Chains A and B, each alone.
Chain A
Amino acid sequence: MTGLVLDQLLIALGMGVLGAMIFAGIGLISGSDETTTLAPLTLLVVLLGVPAPGVLTFFLAGAVAKHMTHAVPTALLGIPGDTMATPLMREANLLRNLGVPHIALRKMISGAVIAALIAVPLAVLFAVMLGPFGDPIKRAAPWVFLAAAVAIAWFSKGRLAAVLALIPFVLVIVGLQAVTAQYGVKLSVSYFLGIAIGPLIAALFSLLAPNERQAMSRTQARTFSLSPDVKGWGGYFPNPLRVLDRKQALWTGATAVISSATFVFSPVAMTVIMGEVVGARVKHVYHRLTTVIAARNGVTEATYIAEALIPLIAFGLPLSPVAAGPAAPLFNAPPRFTVDAASGQVNNLHNLLSTWEFLGYGMAAVIIAVLVAYPFTMNYAHRAASFVSRKISHEAVISTFVGLILVIGIWEGGALGLLVIVTVGLLGGLLSRFVGFNIGVQFMGYYTAVLTVPALAALLAG
């Protein structure tokens, strides 16, 4: 028995290290989106049959490590590491122009370390508090998803346009499912990948259309200015509490506590709001920039962790933008993990891990990610940014993602899988570009199609 427990523990720790190392590398490539990278690889880990603790540590360590290293392009190159980093761009650019981008980077990731360590226990605590509401929410799942989809659409950039765009989008998914069902093919991953990678698919189609092609044409390559390297501490492992001063550490901690409690709002929105709250309370402009950037990055980290963990622990249903997107395979990865709408039955990490296991493995994952990615980023940021921007062409990144579309599509459903990815990707990508119908809304649209539409049909028939 103890041997079995030890085995599980070792697998969990090993998967955590693996996730942290893979995603620390991916984070350096600017623009590599979380959903397009975390979701497929986590899915793979689930389907390969890795034990539940290993799945959790892989995902969480990967997410935390990626957040750390994506601060490198954000601070040093002035391009957002991914969508989560966009609210930090202004402070990052101002500090970069002051000639201290390394300070921006250090404040950011030190804030992230503090916030991540706070967020896991708090997310578990809030999930336990929400636990009693779990059963009614599970029974009402189809309607909860509909409400969540409308709410998330309303708070997206598209507002009413995004809410209304839900209808055709959901219809297309229902239609595609009916078509593939005729050939005995049931798909889920293909929809996720199509949604996640939609912007790339839409961009490639646009490039083939003469008019759009002209608009996308550029006379010269983009210029990136890379800031010089300065190291301000001895040894390999810096102490985040010394990188931040007391006030910064306190603000980061406080905003992390608040944002850990929220799991339905978009992380980007929380980050903006919390940054304003902190910024209004720091007087000197330099101190304000560094405090806000530390707190903001802490908030993205805390919200992200809370959005993945709270719905998973409390309900087992993917009821937040993060849970429906990058963390989706923790909830739904058929045939291993399933969410059944009609009965409200879930079979995923929610059932496979106890609350204490979530806390223990969650903390272990965060600590592993911090041990791997924090000193790496603090010490090698400049060299890593220089290597990525000089050696890894965008063509190579696109080549990898095209391969991913083909392999996953054909693996899941043959030619039909591939067609579904391209159809959903093109539609979603265009909707996102023209009416602000973003990826988070699209994921909720998918769940509406899968969960709400059958319930609605049953209601109307009855």
Chain B
Amino acid sequence: MKQQLYEVWGDTVDSRHLGYSILIGAVVSLSAFFIAQHVLLGWVASAQMARAYAMLVGILGCLGAGAISACLFKPKRIVVEHQADPAQRALLLQELKEEFGDLGTLADLPASTVTELKEMDLYELFAAEERAASSVRAEAPHANTLAVPPAALAVKGGRP
């Protein structure tokens, strides 16, 4: 049977699996509720409390239905272990520069943040970028001023 995938409520589902899951949710939770209500009404003195407890059992039934559906139907997600690769990082720096304009200098950072960057192997990335930027500045001061976007954009954090 071929999968029929749809995006419902923020994630992908298979339409047949969704149908069965809804059925399971209805049957399991309502049976739990009605059986509990039937038993408890004869057993607990106050009818109102009996119904409140029956609702609790019904909610446990919902969780049970969820567990059954989780066992029967596997997620329709492709999960990959993601490792940021150096080429992508260089691209990202470019993106950050476009958004924020000036990346700032490492000399501005408190010691703890410098240590943090070194632990993450990010220090060299920013240091190299800074060296490149300062050499560009030395060669062509005009080009650099043009590359800095208007101040309004920087204050907004570059949000569109």
Contact = CB atoms under 8 A, between A and B. Distances in A.
Interface of A: 30-31, 40-41, 44, 47-49, 79, 90, 94, 96-100, 103, 199-200, 203-204, 207, 213, 216-228, 232, 245-247, 275-276, 279-280, 283-288, 290, 292, 386, 389-404, 406-408, 410-411
A403 B21 CA distance: 10
Nearest to B103: A285
A221 B77 CA distance: 5
Contact of B26 (A217, A279, A292, A402): A402
Given A389-B77, A396-B69, A31 B112 contact: no
Given A49-B49, A245-B113, A397-B66, A284 B5 contact: no
B81 A390 contact: no
Nearest to B107: A284
A399 B66 contact: yes
A456 to B, nearest CB: 33
Nearest to A47: B52
Contacts of B49: 48-49
Contacts of A227: 81-82, 84
A26 B63 CA distance: 11
Contacts of A97: 84, 88-89, 92
A222 B11 contact: yes
B8 interface: yes
B51 to A, nearest CB: 7
Interface size class of B (residues with CB under 8 A): 35 or more
A204 B62 contact: no
B12 A402 contact: no
Nearest to B37: A411
Contacts of A47: 52, 55
B155 interface: yes
Contact of A396 (B21, B89, B96, B104): B21
Nearest to B61: A403
Given A217-B4, A283-B104, A410-B33, 5 more contacts: A40-B59, A98-B84, A225-B80, A284-B106, A398-B9
A120 B69 CA distance: 40
A399 B24 contact: yes
A396 B14 CA distance: 12
Interface string B140-160: 000000000000001111010
A285 B96 contact: yes
A393 B73 CA distance: 7
Contacts of A98: 84, 89, 92, 122
Contacts of A203: 8-9
Given A99-B120, A283-B105, A276 B157 contact: yes
Given A207-B6, A399-B21, A276 B156 contact: yes
A217 B5 contact: yes
Contacts of B15: 207
Interface in B118-150: 119-120, 122, 126
B105 A402 contact: no
A407 B66 contact: no
Nearest to A103: B120
A393 B79 contact: no
Question: A-B pairs with the 6 shortest C-beta distances?
Answer: A99-B84, A403-B29, A225-B82, A403-B62, A284-B104, A400-B66
Contact of A232 (B29, B66, B119): B119
A252 to B, nearest CB: 15
Contacts of A40: 59
A399 B80 contact: no
A64 to B, nearest CB: 22
A394 B113 contact: no
A247 B116 CA distance: 14
A313 to B, nearest CB: 27
Contacts of A280: 154-155, 157
A218 B4 CA distance: 8
A333 B117 CA distance: 51
B77 A222 contact: yes
Contact of A216 (B6, B56, B117): B6
A410 B120 CA distance: 54
B35 to A, nearest CB: 12
B109 to A, nearest CB: 5
Contacts of A290: 113
A391 B70 contact: yes
Nearest to A394: B11
Contacts of B4: 217
B115 to A, nearest CB: 10
B33 A398 contact: no
B68 to A, nearest CB: 8
26 contacts: A31-B9, A44-B52, A44-B55, A200-B9, A204-B22, A207-B15, A219-B5, A220-B78, A221-B77, A224-B80, A228-B81, A228-B82, A247-B110, A286-B122, A287-B113, A391-B70, A393-B13, A393-B74, A396-B67, A398-B13, A399-B66, A400-B62, A400-B65, A402-B26, A406-B30, A411-B33
A246 B112 CA distance: 9
A407 B30 contact: yes
Given A44-B55, A100-B122, A393-B17, A400 B63 contact: yes
A438 B159 CA distance: 23
A399 B6 contact: no
Contacts of A99: 83-84, 89, 120, 122
A397 B49 CA distance: 28
A137 B59 CA distance: 37
